[in-house]
């Protein structure tokens, strides 16, 4: 009997260690995404250098509101402008993915800061947390604008893609707690609206039916390692905690962020809102494939809100 109990204990220990090891590996995949190289960025986003769209940018560095995190960006200042937009990329990319969008604002006389989030581009390498910790990077970008003379008394907006949109949403919420006028509006393109569900859906693509078994351990370890709270750092959980105008841009064929999640956030949001839906297009493909409609909707949104 003792031998049987001992054998069972060994089996249980081996299974527990195996589960812990697999969970750690899975958590690393969540916290350290594969980063696109320049060739892949160019194929997905088009121009990746400001000069390719006729712009000259100043390379800048500044701190996140999280201690020890240094951020990199490209700053394009329009002379005598009292307006600026922070542009925020998605998971696995960097500020180069934002170059094609910059003229949409520059041509309207709006200064632009293209930001490398932590763990991406030239910013401090560290955990990537689906927007939770990255909100402090967006807040750091807003601090940079204030140092350049574009603070709450002037106009500040944020344009963001995918995970960057989640970070921007959370940053706008945090900024609004202390100063409701600190961010004037948000353009939320294909943002992760329900972080836990997006993680689950994308995990199923990799491990399939094993997701319910493997994901809980991976999420626990990811939270322990990074300090991120994927449940709380979730736009859908804060649909009534933000009141600035938001333009929600969505693609019904989004293969990365469930379209239904984005629609739920749009419906639940209680602040001023507008939406632009591209039928049957994939993740944030509206700009590349329906550019005229995209530009028109963005211009109308800015005009409506006197930005």
> Considering the entire predicted model, what is its pTM?
0.94
Mean pLDDT of 246-262: 97
**% of the chain exceeding 90 in pLDDT:** 84
pLDDT given at position 27: 93
CATH number of the domain within which 115 lies:
3.40.50.1820
Question: How many domains does the chain contain in total?
Answer: 2
Which pLDDT score, from 0 to 100, does residue 284 have?
Answer: 96
297 and 182 assigned to the same domain: yes
- Same domain (yes/no): 206, 296: no
* Domain identity same for 243 and 217: no
**Tokens found for residue 183:** 């961010």
Q: Does the structure show a pLDDT above 70 at 245?
A: yes
pLDDT band at 127 (very low <50, low <70, confident <90, very high): very high
What average pLDDT does the segment 43-62 reach?
A: 97
Buried b (16+ CB within 10 A) or exposed e, 85-103: bbbbbbbbbbbbbbbbbbb
CA 280 to chain centroid, in Å, comes to 22
pLDDT, position 12: 59
Answer yes or no: is pLDDT of 1 > 70: no
Residues 13 and 147 in one domain: no
pLDDT bucket at 10, cuts 50 / 70 / 90: low
Final residue of a domain: which of 186, 206, 228? 228
Q: Which two tokens stand for residue 96?
A: 């180069």
Q: Which residue has the tokens 């990365």?
A: 256
- Domain limits for position 46: 36-194+234-304
Could you report the per-residue pLDDT of 198-223, keeping only the tens digit for each?
Answer: 999 999 998 888 899 889 999 999 99
Q: What pLDDT digit, counting tens, does each position of 130-186 carry?
A: 999 999 999 999 999 999 998 667 899 999 999 999 999 999 999 877 776 689 999
**Range of weakest confidence among 83-87, 101-105, 217-221:** 217-221
- Residue 60, pLDDT score: 98
Buried b (16+ CB within 10 A) or exposed e, 16-53: eeeeeebbeebbeebbebeebeeeebbeebebbebeee
213 and 131: one domain?
A: no
Nearest CA to 115 among 107, 106, 124? 124
Least confident piece of the model among 17-31, 77-91, 162-176, 291-305: 17-31
d(CA 170, CA 33): 21
Higher pLDDT, 99 or 67: 99
pLDDT averaged over the chain? Answer: 93
Q: Do 114 and 200 have their domain in common? A: no
228, 248, 277 — which closes off a domain? 228
Q: Do residues 218 and 151 share a domain? A: no
Q: What is the pLDDT of residue 16?
A: 64
Q: Are residues 16 and 98 in the same domain?
A: no
User: Average pLDDT for residues 239-257, to the nearest whole number?
Assistant: 96
| pLDDT number for residue 208 | 87
Residue 85 sits in the same domain as residue 172 = yes
10 or 127, higher pLDDT: 127
Please say whether the dihedral angle defined by the alpha carbons of residues 19, 22, 25 and 26, taken in this order, is positive or negative: negative
In this prediction, residue 230 carries a pLDDT of: 93
Pair 71, 211 in one domain:
no
Residue 206: predicted pLDDT: 84
* 199 shares its domain with 187: no
Give the domain-ending residue among 228, 247, 272. Answer: 228
Whole-number pLDDT of residue 273: 97
- Write down the pLDDT at residue 7: 54
Give yes or no: residues 153 and 101 share one domain.
Answer: yes
């Amino acid at each position: 009997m003792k031998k049987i109990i001992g054998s069972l204990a060994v089996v249980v220990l081996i299974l527990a260690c195996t589960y812990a090891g697999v969970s750690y590996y899975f958590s690393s995949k969540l916290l350290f995404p594969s980063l696109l190289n320049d060739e892949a960025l160019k194929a997905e986003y088009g121009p990746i250098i400001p000069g390719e769209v006729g712009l000259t940018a100043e390379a800048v560095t500044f701190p996140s509101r999280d201690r020890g995190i240094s951020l990199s960006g490209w700053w394009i200042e329009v002379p005598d402008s009292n307006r600026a937009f922070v542009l925020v990329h998605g998971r696995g990319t960097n500020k180069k993915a934002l170059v094609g969008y910059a003229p949409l604002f520059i041509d309207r006389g709006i200064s632009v800061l293209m930001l490398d989030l932590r763990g991406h581009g030239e910013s401090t390498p560290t955990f990537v947390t689906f927007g939770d910790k990255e909100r402090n990077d967006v807040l750091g970008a807003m601090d940079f604008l204030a140092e350049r003379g574009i603070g709450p008394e002037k106009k500040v907006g944020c344009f963001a893609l995918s995970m960057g949109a989640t970070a921007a949403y959370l940053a706008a919420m945090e900024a609004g707690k202390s100063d409701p006028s600190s961010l004037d509006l948000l353009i939320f393109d294909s943002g992760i609206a329900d972080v836990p569900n997006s993680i689950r859906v994308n995990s199923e693509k990799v491990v399939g039916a094993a997701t319910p078994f493997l994901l809980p351990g991976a999420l626990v370890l990811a939270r322990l390692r990074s300090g991120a709270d994927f449940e709380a750092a979730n736009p859908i959980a804060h649909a009534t905690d933000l009141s600035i105008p938001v333009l929600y841009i969505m693609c019904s064929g989004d293969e990365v962020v469930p379209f239904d999640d984005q629609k739920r956030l749009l419906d639940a949001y209680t602040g001023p809102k507008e939406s632009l839906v591209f039928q049957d297009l994939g993740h944030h493909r509206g700009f590349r494939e329906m550019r005229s409609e995209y530009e028109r909707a963005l211009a109308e949104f800015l005009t409506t809100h006197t930005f």
